Amino acid sequence: MSIDQTLRLLAKARGLSVADLATAIPRAGAATVSAWMRGEKLPGKDQLDALAKAFGVPAGALLAELASTFDPARTKGEHDLLAAYRALNTRQQGALLEVARSMAGMKAAKVTKAK
């Protein structure tokens, strides 16, 4: 989930308006907070800390998706696969995992037989 989606969900869950959040964030007016929630801008570190405090969550919870996009160990295909997985319902996710595990097991079995 992107940071703007996370902010919108947390605001809704906590019953906080853009104006409520703007008063809790140093040097951020309602227009800035609104831009964060639309995904047009990203908050800075101090602002993220203040947002996390306002929502009662760790700052890392706001950045999880954003941080994963900078993970140099993940390929574009891995990001695409993760996005597709997250779009599935729970039953579909389980089926996809089962297929992936069986494919990984088949590859391991082939490597073992070849040795």
What pLDDT, on a 0 to 100 scale, did the predictor assign at position 58? Answer: 85
**So what's the pLDDT on residue 74?**
65
Instruction: Classify domain 3-69 at the CATH topology level.
Output: 434 Repressor (Amino-terminal Domain) (1.10.260)
Between the two ends of the chain, the Cα-to-Cα distance in Å is 42
* Residue ranges covered by each domain of the chain: 3-69, 76-114
**Under 8 Å CB-to-CB from 112, ≥6 apart: which residues?**
none
pTM surpassing 0.85? no
Output the CA torsion 74→41→83→45 (10° steps).
50
Per-residue pLDDT of the chain (115 residues; tens, 9 = 90+): 788 888 888 899 889 999 999 998 888 899 999 999 999 998 888 998 999 899 888 888 887 655 555 555 667 778 788 878 888 899 999 999 999 899 988 655 554 555 5
Task: Check: CB of residue 63 under 8 Å from CB of residue 43.
Answer: no
Q: How far apart are CA 86 and CA 66, in angstroms?
A: 15
